[in-house]
Each structure stands twice: as structure tokens, then as C-alpha cells.
Amino acid sequence: MSIASDLIRGHTDTIILALLIQGDSYGYEINKAIQHKTNGQYELKEATLYTAFRRLEQSGCISSYWGDESTGARRRYYHITDQGLKTYESLVKDWEVAKTLIDKLIKKEEDPHGR
Amino acid sequence: MEDRLRRHVENLFEGTAPTRNTVDFKDELLQNLREKYADLIREGKSEDEAYHIVIAGIGDVTGLIRSLEDKEMNNINTETLEKQQQKSALLTAGAVMLYIISIVPGVILDAVGISVIPGVIFMFIAIATATGMLIYNTMTKPKYVRADDSMVEEFREWQNGRWEKSLRHR
């Protein structure tokens, strides 16, 4: 993990919400999905992941429940709420705006003379 | 090796009040680390390698644990604690009052010169009630922090015990 991970960390909430839209999930499964989607280039620290879960739960974006696995210990699952869906939509919008702005600000000016 | 993982997590939570939030988080964290560990072993990592990868991936959870603990403290410090204290004061005061009153009918009946028996009976009933109130008071107070979760936690303890046993058999 490099400097890019610092940039991504700011969007942990959005990433988690996006994955929960696909269905209820638990900590390790979410981290596995992140790893898989990024071809192993990115993975969250447990500390970051669970801090985000607690934050999202407190703001009513997700709810949690204990699974009833018959073998081994139980997993704690997370579920996205209506509030969470709304938050996700606005976070994505925020990101789109920021992305466009940052692109404009940091990309080299295209030379109109095509040198 | 599983024990090593558990021990590491136990160490992370050392000195933490075993409240509902912290215990839940410990269970959750340990369960997810175990699955990660099992996957790494399946991928062909050695037990040592897998253990170190899992441990390194946790990051710093002390802040999170501390915040869970604080939240619990705030919950306790609200109305419930006040109500609990009021109830406890009432029970103690009532009990002391009963102790004092308990001998009054006996003394009066004795002074008037009628049978003392009803007075004695009243005294014993009053003393028994007062003692019962005091015992009830002390028993309900310390339990109340995990009262609503005690069944769940007991079940979890039992389940963990069973799980460990099944591991040892393997």
C-alpha cells in the first residue's frame, strides 16, 4: 500500500456502503471484496474498517445483526438502511464533483499548438 | 495457533471494561481474523506467516476500543443510574424504618397488658421484610450493567467453550 491508500481511506464509508448495496455482509467478506476488486492492491486495516462500521451505524446508515451460523462462532452482519442509500448517493455525487475539479487542477494544460 | 490469535486479541482488550459494545467488538474482530487466517493457510502460507500477516493487518484499534468504552459509560450515566440510585435509597430507608417500627406493636401491646404474641409475630415479619429489601437492593445493583445481556453473554461463553473443545479434538 502506498500514498494512494491515504486518498482512498477518505472514501472508506462510500466503499463500504457501495458493497452493502449488493447485499448484507460482514467485516472479512467486505475486506475480501475490496481486495478482489482492486486485484490485491488495496486492503483496509481492521481498525479502519470497524471504526467506519461504528460510525455508519451511529449515523443510521447501516444496521447490524448477529448471524446464526451453526458451525463455529457467529458473524456480525451489516445491512444498509434507507438513510444509508441516501448518504451513498450524495457521497458519490460529492466524489464526482471533486474528481472533475481535481482533474482540472492537477492535469497539465494541453498545449493548443500541439508541440 | 488459533490460541495465539485469541491471545493477541485478548491483549488488545486488556484493561477494557467488559461492556456489551467492547465484548461484541472483540468477538467480531476475533471471528473475522480467524477467517482471514484460515484463508491464508488454505493459500499455502505457513502458520507463522499467516499469523504475522493477520496481526499486521489489524492496525491501531485502541482508539476504537476506547470510544466504545466511553459510549457505554455515557449510557450508564444517564437517567437509569439516577433512577437506580433513587430506588436503592428508598429501599434502604424503608428497610431501616421497618427495623425501628418492628418492636412498636409489641411494646404497646405489652404496656396495655394484652397478649404479646401478635406483637412478636409482627416484629418477625417486619424484620424479614426489611432484610429481604436490603438483600434485594445489594443484589440488583452490581448486576445491572450487563443485566439485559447476561443470557446472551452466558450463551456466548458456553459456545466459545464448546468451540475450543471441538478444536482440541481435531
C-alpha cell at B150: 447476561
Are the beta carbons of B59 and A54 separated by less than 8 Å? no
Q: Which is more confident, B16 or B160?
A: B16
pLDDT one-digit tens code per residue, B98-144 = 999 888 888 888 888 877 788 888 889 999 999 999 998 888 765 44
Orientation angle between helical segments B117-143 and B79-101, nearest 10 degrees: 160
Within the 52-111 window of chain A, which residues sit less than 8 Å (CB to CB) from chain B? Answer: 54, 72-76
- Cα-based distances in Å from B8 to A12, A33, A73, B33: 26, 25, 18, 11
The answer to whether the Cβ–Cβ distance between B36 and A76 falls below 8 Å is no
- B16-45 confidence digits (pLDDT tens): 888 888 999 999 999 999 999 999 999 999
**A62 pairs with which residues across the strands?**
A80
C-alpha cell at B67: 470510544
Residue A73 carries which DSSP code? Answer: S
Q: Is beta strand A76-80 parallel, antiparallel or unpaired with respect to A25-26? A: antiparallel
Contacts of A45 in chain B (CB under 8 A): 57-59
Choose the closest CB to B64 out of A32, A54, A73: A54
Of A45, A37, A39, residue with least CA distance to A12: A45
Per-residue model confidence as pLDDT tens digits over A94-106: 999 999 999 999 9
The domain segmentation of chain B, as residue ranges, is 2-76, 82-146
Listed residue (A26, A65, A24, A84) closest to B32, CA to CA: A26
Q: Which of A12, A25, A28, A29 to mutate to test the interface with B (most CBs of B within 10 A)?
A: A28
Listed in sequence order, the residues at least 6 apart from B28 whose beta carbon sits closer than 8 Å to its beta carbon are A27, A50, A75, A76
CATH of domain A4-106: 1.10.10.10
pLDDT at B144 (0 to 100): 42
